[in-house]
Amino acid sequence: MTSSEPSATDPSLPGTPLPEVSRVPHHIEPKNPRWIAPLALVVSLLAAVAAGWALLKPAPDPAEASAVSDPKAQVCGVFDTVSRAVSIQTKRAPGPDLGPVTPVATEAIAANARLSMSGGASYLLSELPSNTPKELADEVRSFAGELNGIAINALAGIPNDQEPQAGLLRSAEETNKKIVELCKE
Three-state SS for 17?
coil
In this predicted model, what pLDDT tens digit does every residue of 150-172 receive, in sequence order?
A: 999 999 999 999 999 999 999 99
Three-state SS for 162?
coil
Q: Per-residue pLDDT for 97 more than 60?
A: yes
Cβ-based burial of 72 (10 A; exposed 0-12, middle 13-18, buried ≥19): middle
Q: Give the pLDDT of residue 63.
A: 53
pLDDT grade for 119, boundaries at 50, 70 and 90: very high
Cβ-based burial of 154 (10 A; exposed 0-12, middle 13-18, buried ≥19): buried
Q: What is the mean pLDDT of residues 9-36?
A: 69
In this predicted model, what pLDDT tens digit does every residue of 35-49 receive, in sequence order?
A: 667 777 778 878 887
pLDDT grade for 62, boundaries at 50, 70 and 90: low
For 19-48, b where at least 16 C-beta lie within 10 A, e where not — what string? eeeeeeeeeeeeeeeeeeeeeeeeeeeeee
Cβ(90)–Cβ(52) under 8 Å? no
Q: 69 or 76: whose pLDDT is higher? A: 76
Q: Is the peptide bond before 164 cis (omega within 30 degrees of 0)?
A: yes
Q: Give the pLDDT of residue 12.
A: 67
Element (H, E) at 154: helix 134-155
Q: Give the pLDDT of residue 40.
A: 77
Q: Per-residue pLDDT for 58 more than 80?
A: no
Q: Give the pLDDT of residue 42.
A: 78
